[in-house]
Structure 1
Amino acid sequence: MGRYDPFSERPSLRRLLDDVGEQSPYEIDSIADKKHTPIGLTYSTDPRGPWAMPQEEECKRVHVLGYDPRAYFIAHELAGNLHLDPVKLLVHKKNVMRSWQLEGEQVSVWKGVQRSSQGRGRAEAEWIGRGRDEPSNEHIDQLIVTLACGVTTTALQNIIHRIDNRTTICLVQDGLGLVEHLNATLFPDPTRRPHYVLGHMSASLGYNKQWFFGAKLRQPGKLFLHAVERGVDLLPTLKFHPPVERRMNATQFLRTLVTTPGLHAGGYNLENWLIQKLPALVFSSVIEPMAVVLDTTYDNIPGNEHAIRLADELLDELFNVIMAMPELTNSSKVVEHCGLGALRKKTIKRLWEKGSSQSDMLSRVRAGQWVDIDYLNGYFIKRARELGIKVPQNEAVVDIVKARIAKRRNEMRNVIPFESDDVPNKPAF
């Protein structure tokens, strides 16, 4: 696909530049889901039950890598599951480790004014950053990652020696396309790479400004899970017959999440999972870049005529890509949840719910830090190229956001030495 037209040939975009909680879960086809992913079974430790897990499978530890409300909420709920070993938070930032000690080595969740904390043997933190005398060799069986996609690869390099084909990694992130990137960079050998589970949370969560290891639950929701097909790069004889141990490890992780009550988790086939994920991904791909382009808070976007026009153009392009995705086969269900009208309605509704708050992407751009644009708009651009669809406006906003980051970094270098754990934005695909 050729390059998009320059700014001078797109007057609406040029004029715009010159001017300048989560949705409720939708209904899904539960019958199809249960048929494709029969993991939503009642958990039982009774050895007489047909679905009782082997004793050695009950005590596996879940590791969590992330510094956001999703990480702390998930860790809090897993810590309350007495059938598991204490959940372990992986920390590679010294200031975060200090906060853990100052806050009494516990993770908390607020539901209104009510606080619930898990610690004292149910939640632990492990330093995995530089300066450790003896790096741990403890194998990681089950890992949940809520870090932004753009820094996940760098963070995993600190623990890559603890990950292999017995590991299952659950990615609960805003973007898509990271699995392919991890396989290409960290796990090129198909026989040794981990299993993956894609996660999407519909709960509305927020930070607690008084506590680093805390999350506010504004509105309950669900954790939608999809186990990525294993072995797409393997020979057919291996693809369809993975070792029993590896199948058990992946299934055990799914069952662990599904049977942890506070997570409200369920397993779904790829189509039904995408139906839940795509509206949120569309919002992040349309509204977040708009906030950066306008350099403003969410509430000022609807009042800008040029912004609304460009947002509609972005949405139209994303809709065309979604409708052409071969993973989505049930046309009536896709139109109901991901049709152009449905996407526009959900995007506007979520924008109003944001109120006068500031975009996280804008905050990071102002700080000269990376953003996940390559896994938001960039994901759709990659899929569009595969499908032969042109998405010039999405290509344009990706360039604009990256240009803003580069400009801000140059400004900061002229004032103070630039030092950050973050990596600069580079194309992920």
Structure 2
Amino acid sequence: MKETRRGFEAEVVRGLLQSSLTSVENDSANEEDLPDRTGTEAQEYSLQTGAKEQTGSVPRDLAWKSGDISAVSVPTSEESLPMAAASHQQGDKISPEEDTSEPGEPSTPETEINAWFAQAEQEADKAQHKEKGMQASGQIHIPDAQEEIIYHLIISVKAPQTVRAIQAVAHRLTQDSSILFLQNGMGMVDEVNERLFPDRKYRPTYMFGVVSHGLYSKGPFSVVHAGEGTIALGVLPRTSMGENIQVEALSQLSPSARYLMRTMTRTAVFVAVGFSPTDILQQQFDKLAVNCIINPLTAVLDCKNGALLYNFYFSRVVRLLLAEISLVIKSLPELKNVPNVNMRFDTLRLERMVFTIANTTAENYSSMVQDIRSGRLTEIDYINGYIVKRGEEMGIHCVMNYMLMHIVKGKNKYSSQEKADLLPFAGQRG
């Protein structure tokens, strides 16, 4: 409050200086015209000027800025000199002799007022910088007394709905919370950080899960467990996963992350196993490569997974797509120093993995086929779209994945319009 008041007083002093200079010029001009006035006019003029000096009136624009303040007085030389002396004792750099007058120039009330004004401005600037420095600690939102903090949150919605789902409860998440992502695709965490938790210091702990269980939905709140599988769990370190990835021991994690990891791995039906950040990242890319092939191709063809088997023409398309996917994954900076990355994400190994899973789930429809049939938004931007995005960052043009991504988007839009009866039929008049 002191800095704000001094800044306000500095503004008032500046206005007074300008108004005083203007009044001096007007008075000098009026004094030159005074001999030409008659005796009665000169007497009335002197009475008016004397009344103004006694009342100390403030200009109209200055009174409008001052609000409820009725009158403001300019500090005299006796009032400003102690303030300048105090600034020397506190170590400030501003003084009347240094900033407002040249060496050897005699001190005047005007120079002292300028010095006082400069000091007030400097103190106001210091207060603003102090305010900016304290804003970082105020970025985190503390839940109200009626709302409880969410320490464990599991996200299992479609990738495009991730931000909206977390946004509804983001004010109840703190740096002590943990979020487990059980989803297809990659890149959702980047959107969550950008839109919901931009400050790394106050972000929750992120956990990833790679699910191989067979599931499908029969309707709202109805899920069928079609095939048993496993869940691979891992914790994303708070530091960026660059060239040197430090494996966080379970004892070094936050209490909420340790509890969630322990609960998931001890629940027998989940068949969950914990992995290091590097291992869980590689498993995510394994599943991403499979989803980049089976999901979009079956969605475009509107067929079961087994339709991709024993077809030479489909095999050629799969190899072209995997050549781009393999090149992008092996070039990622977060996997730069990981051993055997080139062998693990080789095109032939990825091809064998794709056809093995397609054979195992031959009678199933992929989730992308079901999304297009239902007119829902697909996850193509977080599957093939993620490969295209990361490739562009490293200067790799993924033409095949880019084309397939837009074919799926086009079919998704076509199906949605057809379901909404927006497509005109032949011979129909609008």
The residue number in structure 2 matching 1:229 is: 237
The residue number in structure 1 matching 2:65 is none
Cα drift, residue 361 of structure 1 = 0.5
Query: Partner of 1:364: helix, strand, or coil?
Result: helix
The SS at the match of 1:281 is: helix
Deviations, residues 58-78 of structure 1 (Å, cap 9, x unaligned): xxxxxxxxxxxxxxxxxxxxx
1:145 equivalent in alignment to 2:155? yes
Q: Which amino acid counterpart does residue 194 of structure 1 have in structure 2?
A: P
1:159 to 169, 178, 182: 169
Distance 2:296 2:227 in 1: 25
User: Aligned residue pairs: how many?
Assistant: 274
Q: 1: distance between equivalents of 2:360 and 2:263?
A: 33
Structure 2, gaps ≥5 residues long: 1-145, 242-250, 424-430
Q: AA paired with 2:193? A: N
Which has more radius of gyration?
2
- Residue 215 of structure 2 aligns with which residue? 206
The one-letter amino acid paired with 1:140 is I
| 1:190-269 aligned within 5 A | 190-202=200-212, 204-207=213-216, 212-213=221-222, 215-216=224-225, 218-221=227-230, 223-230=231-238, 232=240, 247-269=254-276
Work out whether residues 237 and 277 of structure 2, in 8 Å CA contact, stay in contact via their aligned partners in 1: no
1:367-399 Cα deviation digits (max 9, x unpaired): 321111111111111221222212111111111
SS of structure 2 residue aligned to 1:144: strand
Report deviation, 1:252.
3.0
Distance 1:144 1:292, change over 3 A: same
* 1:298 matched residue in structure 2: 305
Following superposition, the deviation at residue 292 of structure 1 comes to 2.0
Q: Distance in 2 between matches of 1:171 and 1:291?
A: 25
Is it true that 1:414 corresponds to 2:424 in the alignment? Answer: no
- Residue 327 of structure 2 corresponds to 320
Q: Contact 1:279/1:347 (CA < 8 Å) preserved in 2?
A: no
Question: Do the aligned residues in 2 keep the contact of 1:287 with 1:311 (CA within 8 Å)?
Answer: no
Distance 1:191 1:270, change over 3 A: closer
Alignment partner of 2:207: what SS? strand
Q: Secondary structure at the match of 2:214?
A: strand
Rounded to whole Å, the distance in 2 between the matches of 1:211 and 1:194 is: 29
Q: 1-side partners of 2:226 and 2:295: how far apart?
A: 22
Q: Alpha-carbon deviation of 1:327?
A: 2.5
- Aligned residue in 1 for 2:44: none
Partners of 2:416 and 2:209 in 1: CA distance: 32
User: Secondary structure at the residue paired with 1:345?
Assistant: helix
Deviation, 1:279, is 2.1
Give the CA deviation at 1:155.
Answer: 1.8
Matched letter for residue 256 of structure 1? T
Q: 1:227 is paired with a residue of what secondary structure?
A: strand
1:267: how far off?
A: 2.9
Structure 1 unmatched ranges of 5 or more = 1-135, 234-243, 417-429
Partner of 1:398: 405
- Distance apart, 1:365 and its partner CA: 1.4
Larger strand proportion of the pair: 1
- What does residue 288 of structure 2 align with? 281
Against the structure 1 CA distance between its residues 304 and 293, is the aligned structure 2 distance closer, same or farther, given a 3 Å change threshold? farther
2:359 — aligned with what?
A: 352
Report how far residue 137 of structure 1 moved: 2.3
Residues 108-148 of structure 1: per-residue CA shift (max 9 Å, x gap): xxxxxxxxxxxxxxxxxxxxxxxxxxxx8232101111111
In structure 1, what residue type is equivalent to 2:409?
A: K
Change (3 A) 1:169 1:356: same
**Following TM superposition, by how much is the alpha carbon of 1:168 offset from its aligned partner in structure 2, in angstroms?**
0.5
1:197 maps to a residue whose letter is M
- TM-score, normalising length from structure 1? 0.57
* 2:351 corresponds to 1:340: no
Q: Give TM-score scaled by structure 2 length.
A: 0.57
Q: Which has the higher helix share?
A: 2
Match of 2:194, SS state, is helix
**Helix, strand or coil: the match of 2:200?**
coil
Q: Is the 8 A contact 1:166 1:246 kept in 2?
A: no
2:201 alignment partner, SS class? coil
The within-5 A match list for 1:40-189 is 137-189=147-199
Residue of structure 2 equivalent to 1:71: none
Helix, strand or coil at the partner of 2:202: coil
Read off the aligned partner of 1:218 and give its amino acid letter: G
